[in-house]
Structure 1
Amino acid sequence: MRIGSADVPALERGVALLGSGGGGETGAATALLRHRISAGHRVALTPVAELDGDALVVPVGVIGATSVFDEKPPSGAEFFSAVAAVRRWTGRGADALMSIEVGGLNGVLPLVAAVDLGVPCVDADQSGRGVPRLDQLAVAAVGGEVAPVALAEPGGHVLVLAEGSAAEVERTARAFLAGAGGWAAMAMAPIRAAELPGCALLGTVGAALDLGRRALSAGERPADLAAATGAGLLGVGRVVEVARRSGPGFGRGSLTVRDRESLLRLEMENEYLLALRDGAPVASTPDVLAVVDRRTGVPVPCDAARTGVEVAVLRLPAAEFWTDPRRLPVLAPRAFGIDCDPVLL
């Protein structure tokens, strides 16, 4: 599937919705993608089925404080450095790239990286939505190893995490990022294409593009947007409170919407995680909870939520990968310290 300039707005809207309030601002990533397209580069998605089974696919993406991505833009060498470091460490090349996370800017940047490295970008990812931690990627959810991974930060430093559990790699990566400007490009060890159906979510980037097209074609009413995207409409109203709590790890908070005669509260971390109506849970992760501007349909990130804004709250169904009982605990509310069972479509 070739992606042209006319497809970029739909891709941007689709990955922003799947970010579930997280995943990072997509503006800089889509600007880079538009530049590659306008320069005449071929930008395309390659289905996993079209790859040779022995082809080596490297998952890539940006991790860290993606909110500073616009303030500290990439030099252009980060993905080269990260992929090269993994190649040196493992002795295995990169026949193709795939995204670690289709939600947010990582739904776009691997396309740019693939163009720059001259390899295909696979229509698959490691999450199917926005996720905050490396130990919540699909390969970790099925019991695989996340390490080795390489992190390349904008200043030119490269760190290879050669071994360790997924949780240990996550902790070490965050410590590195704290002293490295906030974000880094990441490359994971190559995965054989034949193994991807068991440790990745297939077709997700193309699905994000389709989701964005349907969202952009919907009318102005939230009900029309919900119908066009296949989402459940949890509520429509004004944001009456945004509470943020700092502490160790990711910041936590909540957003409250007055919806007619009820109050809809969303608990959030990097993403929207749980929705409660008058105190009763009505929706939760791993379903995708999206808050959008009532009039424009533009997704409202967790870190941009403000009181007084008229919004609609949507719920998109989780990928089947995450509703499997063996993997559901990885993204269920308790994985984020919320004592609540999953409430799914």
Structure 2
Amino acid sequence: MRIDLADVPALERGVSLLGSGGGGDTVTAAALLRRWLADAAGGAVRLTAARDLPPGTRVVPLGLVGATAVFTEKLPGGGEFRAAVAAIERWTGERADALMSIEVGGLNGVLPLAAAADLRLSYVDADLSGRGLPRLDQLSVAAAGRGLAPVALAEPGGQVLVLADGTPAEIERTVRSFLTGSGGWAVLALAPILAGDLPGCSVLGTTSGALDLGRRVLAAGESPGADRLAAATGGRVLTLGRVLEVAHRMGPGEHGRPGFGRGSVTVTDHATRSLLRLEMENEYLLALRDGEVVASTPDVLAVLDRRTCVPISTEVLRHGTEVAVLQLPAAGFWTDPRHAPALRPRAYGIDSDPVLLR
């Protein structure tokens, strides 16, 4: 399968939905992908299923980490991707045969494709999240017990950092500290993963799935009814209504460090007048209808503009906006009891059991 310029609008819509209100600016990322595809050999990136690769193929997970708001002000020149991949190759002594994303939800569902076009490498139809995630220690490789180290970081000012060792939580803290003093964002590369190992530590089929999801939502047109929207997404419409209130606060941190921003959104349902409240961090995490939990992470909760069906991030949702709130099923990796604790509500400090579609 090839991804070319004609596929970018559907891909951008799909990954923005899977961002669950987080993941960064997909519009800017899609514009950068168009630029790189225009310069790529054949104008496309080859997308390959993990099962179609020789088991010994070395696949490097890649993505952008840090303050995605800063990313739109300080765009990558492309050298960051090459520097991060080259650093992890030097440290491990293993050449990258292919790339994959660390996170399909949000801009990381798009940018690593640009890196593959630039580096002339194939792209694997898998990622380490299956949705949008806030922390590196929640990636599927960490949930599967493989760890994260070594990690290479390349920031736009030219600095390159390799973290040779550390637990996933330690890697997460160190990366955030580095980003604070280095411009806000960096490209991260993990050590190569053999293609034969991907089924046990990654979420498969996510890029093709995001592309298909985006095509179906775009085909639904503007202002679709609840039934049509649910059919197009394979999910459930929790409410169609108007945002009554948006509240933001600082979330809990660790060891004296501030946490991610927290908040809540209240939506009045037009048909029933019930109140749906969404608890959010970087992503939408939990939905309560009139005080009863009706949906939660690891399922994807998305808020869409009622007319255009464009997903609205947690950062820009405002009072008075007409919205549709969706619940999309979690990837099977995250419903596996061995991996589920990493994304359950309690992993975010919310005292609730998961409430899922399946």
Q: Say if 2:27 is the partner of 1:23.
A: no
Q: Say if 2:6 is the partner of 1:6.
A: yes
The 5-angstrom pairing of residues 69-88 of structure 1 reads: 69-88=71-90
Unpaired stretches in structure 2, ≥5 consecutive residues: 252-257
Partners of 2:304 and 2:166 in 1: CA distance? 39
Q: Describe the superposition over 1:155-189 as per-residue Cα deviations: whole angstroms up to 9, x where unpaired.
A: 01111111000000000000001111111000000
Q: TM-score, normalised by structure 1?
A: 0.98
**Structure 1 stretch displaced more, 285-294 or 74-83:** 74-83
Q: What code does the residue aligned with 2:237 have?
A: L
Residue number among 285, 289, 312 corresponding to 1:273 in the alignment: 285
Partners of 1:77 and 1:62 in 2: CA distance? 13
Residue number among 244, 261, 273 corresponding to 1:251 in the alignment: 261
Partners of 1:84 and 1:4 in 2: CA distance? 26
Partners of 1:195 and 1:60 in 2: CA distance? 17
Q: Say if 2:268 is the partner of 1:264.
A: no
Q: Which residue number corresponds to residue 37 of structure 1?
A: 37
Partners of 2:124 and 2:94 in 1: CA distance? 18
Asked if 2 retains the 8 angstrom alpha-carbon contact of 1:58 and 1:189, the reply is yes
Partners of 1:68 and 1:43 in 2: CA distance? 27
Asked if 1 retains the 8 angstrom alpha-carbon contact of 2:37 and 2:114, the reply is no
Unpaired stretches in structure 1, ≥5 consecutive residues: none
Partners of 2:335 and 2:294 in 1: CA distance? 17
Partners of 2:114 and 2:11 in 1: CA distance? 13
Q: What code does the residue aligned with 1:293 have?
A: D
Q: Which residue number corresponds to residue 242 of structure 2?
A: 238
Q: Say if 2:347 is the partner of 1:335.
A: yes
Q: Which residue number corresponds to residue 115 of structure 1?
A: 117
Q: Say if 2:58 is the partner of 1:56.
A: yes
Q: Describe the superposition over 1:194-233 as per-residue Cα deviations: whole angstroms up to 9, x where unpaired.
A: 1111111111100000000000001422412222111101
Partners of 2:51 and 2:247 in 1: CA distance? 46
Secondary structure of the corresponding residue to residue 45 of structure 1: strand
Q: What code does the residue aligned with 2:97 have?
A: D
Shift of 1:144: 0.7
Q: What code does the residue aligned with 1:66 have?
A: T
Residue number among 306, 316, 320 corresponding to 1:308 in the alignment: 320
Asked if 2 retains the 8 angstrom alpha-carbon contact of 1:222 and 1:312, the reply is no
Paired residues, number: 345
Secondary structure of the corresponding residue to residue 7 of structure 1: helix
Q: Which residue number corresponds to residue 188 of structure 1?
A: 190
Q: What code does the residue aligned with 2:289 have?
A: R
Secondary structure of the corresponding residue to residue 245 of structure 1: strand
Secondary structure of the corresponding residue to residue 173 of structure 2: helix
Q: Describe the superposition over 1:272-292 as per-residue Cα deviations: whole angstroms up to 9, x where unpaired.
A: 000001111000000000000
Asked if 1 retains the 8 angstrom alpha-carbon contact of 2:4 and 2:43, the reply is no
Asked if 2 retains the 8 angstrom alpha-carbon contact of 1:47 and 1:203, the reply is yes
Q: Which residue number corresponds to residue 160 of structure 1?
A: 162
Considering only aligned residues, what root-mean-square deviation do their CA atoms show, in Å? 1.0
Q: What code does the residue aligned with 1:118 have?
A: R
Partners of 1:276 and 1:344 in 2: CA distance? 13
Shift of 1:116: 1.0
Q: Say if 2:294 is the partner of 1:290.
A: no
Shift of 1:37: 2.6
Secondary structure of the corresponding residue to residue 163 of structure 1: coil
Asked if 2 retains the 8 angstrom alpha-carbon contact of 1:62 and 1:186, the reply is yes
Shift of 1:38: 2.5
Secondary structure of the corresponding residue to residue 44 of structure 2: coil
Q: What code does the residue aligned with 1:271 have?
A: E
Secondary structure of the corresponding residue to residue 2 of structure 2: coil
Shift of 1:42: 2.6
What is the identity percentage for the equivalent residue pairs of Structure 1 and Structure 2?
Answer: 68
Asked if 2 retains the 8 angstrom alpha-carbon contact of 1:61 and 1:106, the reply is yes
Residue number among 179, 184, 204 corresponding to 1:202 in the alignment: 204
Asked if 1 retains the 8 angstrom alpha-carbon contact of 2:100 and 2:127, the reply is yes
Q: Which residue number corresponds to residue 329 of structure 2?
A: 317
Partners of 1:293 and 1:125 in 2: CA distance? 27
Q: Which residue number corresponds to residue 152 of structure 2?
A: 150
**Structure 1 stretch displaced more, 25-34 or 282-291:** 25-34
Partners of 1:61 and 1:252 in 2: CA distance? 24
Q: Describe the superposition over 1:2-40 as per-residue Cα deviations: whole angstroms up to 9, x where unpaired.
A: 112221110000000000000101122111211123334
Q: Describe the superposition over 1:250-299 as per-residue Cα deviations: whole angstroms up to 9, x where unpaired.
A: 10001110113211000000000000011110000000000000000000
Secondary structure of the corresponding residue to residue 132 of structure 1: coil
Q: Which residue number corresponds to residue 254 of structure 2?
A: none
**Structure 1 stretch displaced more, 41-50 or 4-13:** 41-50
